[in-house]
Structure 1
Amino acid sequence: MLPERRGDLLILTATLLASAGWLFSKEAISALPPAGFVGWRFVLAALILLPFCYRQLRATSFANLLKTAGIGLVMTLNLIFWIQAVMHSDGIGEGAFIMSLAMLMVPPLAWLLFRERPGRQFWLALPIAVTGLFLLTSGNGLSLSLGQLLFLLASVSLALYFSLNSRFARRVDPMALTFVQLAVTGIMHLGYSALFERWPEQVAPDIWGWFAASVLLATSLRFFCQSAGQKFSNVANAALIMMLEPIWTVLISVFWYHEPMPVQKIMGCVLILLALLSFRSRALYEWYRNRRAMKVRRET
């Protein structure tokens, strides 16, 4: 198999695992305290990754480790909003599409924080995304439900994480970066859980099964597949494949939770996908043009 195809397959596997992670998490927190669940999920996932990034961690300067941990605090905020949103929502498909809007929230945050003006693609995609969000969430009239509001806050905090992480990620090995941020997120959630949550005296075996799937499949294996896939897959392919995550999540939610998907919500999801494709259109065109030029050079 060609390396690029292998990379695409790994990225596709990562999106499927990420989508399944929504189901694993919602089932697990039906009996486990949400912050405690996230804490142990991320701490254990970090420990599983540790043998694969120990050398890279030792080679990273203390200053860079501190900055990585600081960005991990933003991830912590994102996970707080996300897990609460999952807990307060009847389904997960709608939330996955709201979370996918984080990509479109990055340019205005970069404009606010780093004085980087959004490009033309952002302004073209923005009204499409806003219309899609309105159709997706207007089942309750003009007001947002608690779950929808929490998903929107999670999307904004995820965009902030992307904005900060993209400016720093190249300084630290990806596996080391992932380990530190997972560990920080897990430790912070465990601290909150110890102070404010109470664990049940008994937990059913199937709940521990969902928890194990969250740690091993939706976190450790997912991040490994994503990191490994990005080494071989080109940026444009990876971006397109990762857009499939909310689609898989909707299918899982409709099948497992019988989440209603009336025409209005379907149209909202379609418009959000169109907005994301429009936003990435220039990058996709540049990738296609460069690839075509390389093919012509090889043939001549």
Structure 2
Amino acid sequence: MRTVSRLQADLLLLLTAAIWGLAFVAQKSGLDGMGPFGFVGARFLLSTIVVLPLAWREWKGRAGLPAMTPKDWGLMGLLSLAFFAGAYLQQAGMVTASVTNAGFLTALYVVFVPVIGLFVFRHRQSIIVWPACAIAIAGVWLLNGGRLDHLSMGDALVIGCAAAFGLQINLMGIVVRQSARPFTICVAQNAVTAVAALALAGLHEHITVAGIQSSLVPILYAGIVSGGIGFALQAFAQQHTPSADAAIIMSGEALFAALSGAVLLHERLGAINWLGCGLIFAALLLVELYPYAVRAFTRPAN
């Protein structure tokens, strides 16, 4: 498997954030014709198909990879369940939560990742993670106008989604480094999510051809680009970046969502919004430049 540098991995995570930043509108629009279970199932069925060739190629070349242990399979199963919980809770929450609230509350995984990593997995966190988390959350808050709309049950579901994604990002960092199979893991989480969501949609929702047609464009973007390409990039890049740092970089999705709205939808950003953009960018730079600064100051003198 090709080795990439930390900088290259972080740039891939930044690209992931850009892809995800465009997905909130698609997810909200997709609910016009389908229920949450149906949309999540259709979306991740497409995502599974997109990544499957890469996983198949990875599996055929497994002779050079470490053997999968029962612990790896167990963690992959737990990761897949956390991913399904996060994907469904986010989509269900967006039935009543505004796109603004959903974007901010989803970004709370920036806090959940280091907290879960520290208290559940006993991962020591870099000292820069905590101030960078605070700066990133402050930036997302200001980017959303320094306010939240009236909180609803949907908002509570999205907070639950952030916690589930916080667990998933931690598990992804562990499993992908132990197994060196990012695309296999990505297919597993996508497939489990698709099967579970479609089964529950069959029990609790009424899926129609007309509904699928009206949601087709959001399904295609959320499934192929955001769910397929985006999560595959996340899985690949997390082999080379600590989970807490990866979460801060990926929180840039809020920044890209706002910028794309300004460019594509001609939405105007006020001074407070631009300040939020600046803070998010500052958090990303802190995480990216801190390792280089440490090496520079600890380098022995000649």
TM-score bucket of the superposed structures, by smaller chain: 0.7 to 0.9
Alignment partners' CA distance in 2, 1:170 and 1:196: 38
| Aligned counterpart in structure 2 of residue 108 of structure 1, from 108, 112, 115 | 115
Q: Do the aligned partners of 1:65 and 1:180 also contact (CA within 8 Å) in 2?
A: no
Q: Which runs of 5+ in 2 are unaligned?
A: none
Q: What do the CA deviations read for 1:123-176 (whole angstroms, capped 9, x no partner)? A: 5456656766776587468x6344433332222221122223323321221111
Alignment partners' CA distance in 2, 1:248 and 1:259: 13
Q: What do the CA deviations read for 1:11-30 (whole angstroms, capped 9, x no partner)? A: 55433322222222222221
Alignment partners' CA distance in 2, 1:23 and 1:74: 23
Alignment of 1:27-42 (within 5 A): 27-42=29-44
Q: Do the aligned partners of 1:45 and 1:219 also contact (CA within 8 Å) in 2?
A: yes
Partner residue of 2:86?
Answer: 78
Alpha-carbon distance change, 98 to 265 in structure 1, aligned in 2, over 3 angstroms: farther
Alpha-carbon distance change, 254 to 26 in structure 1, aligned in 2, over 3 angstroms: farther
| Aligned counterpart in structure 2 of residue 164 of structure 1, from 164, 171, 178 | 171
Q: Do the aligned partners of 1:91 and 1:257 also contact (CA within 8 Å) in 2?
A: no
Q: Do the aligned partners of 1:98 and 1:133 also contact (CA within 8 Å) in 2?
A: no
| Aligned counterpart in structure 2 of residue 49 of structure 1, from 40, 48, 51 | 51
Q: Do the aligned partners of 2:135 and 2:283 also contact (CA within 8 Å) in 1?
A: yes
Q: Tell me, what secondary structure is at the counterpart of 2:99? A: coil
User: Partner letter of residue 22 of structure 1?
Assistant: F
Q: Determine which structure has the larger helix proportion and give its number.
A: 1
Alignment partners' CA distance in 1, 2:168 and 2:8: 28
Q: Do the aligned partners of 1:104 and 1:276 also contact (CA within 8 Å) in 2?
A: no
Question: Once the 2 structures are TM-superposed, how far is the Cα of residue 34 of structure 1 from its aligned partner?
Answer: 1.3
Q: Do the aligned partners of 2:169 and 2:247 also contact (CA within 8 Å) in 1?
A: no
Question: Once the 2 structures are TM-superposed, how far is the Cα of residue 63 of structure 1 from its aligned partner?
Answer: 5.1
Alignment partners' CA distance in 1, 2:265 and 2:158: 18
Q: What do the CA deviations read for 1:21-50 (whole angstroms, capped 9, x no partner)? A: 222222222111111111122123213322
Question: Once the 2 structures are TM-superposed, how far is the Cα of residue 204 of structure 1 from its aligned partner?
Answer: 6.5
12-21 vs 168-177, greater mean Cα deviation: 12-21
| Aligned counterpart in structure 1 of residue 225 of structure 2, from 204, 217, 237 | 217
Question: Once the 2 structures are TM-superposed, how far is the Cα of residue 83 of structure 1 from its aligned partner?
Answer: 0.8
User: Partner letter of residue 45 of structure 1?
Assistant: S
Q: Do the aligned partners of 1:106 and 1:160 also contact (CA within 8 Å) in 2?
A: yes
Alignment partners' CA distance in 1, 2:71 and 2:228: 26
Alignment partners' CA distance in 2, 1:291 and 1:187: 49
Q: Do the aligned partners of 1:107 and 1:118 also contact (CA within 8 Å) in 2?
A: yes
Q: How many pairs does the alignment contain?
A: 289
Report the TM-score, using the length of structure 1 for normalisation: 0.73
Alignment partners' CA distance in 2, 1:165 and 1:182: 13
Q: Tell me, what secondary structure is at the counterpart of 2:211? A: coil
1:286 aligned onto 2:291: yes
Alignment partners' CA distance in 2, 1:145 and 1:276: 30
Alignment of 1:1-300 (within 5 A): 10-54=12-56, 55-56=58-59, 60-61=68-69, 64-92=72-100, 94-116=101-123, 120-124=127-131, 139=147, 144-172=151-179, 173-200=181-208, 202-203=210-211, 205-226=213-234, 242-253=250-261, 280=287, 284-288=289-293, 290=295
The RMSD of aligned alpha carbons is: 4.2
67-76 vs 112-121, greater mean Cα deviation: 112-121
User: Partner letter of residue 196 of structure 2?
Assistant: M
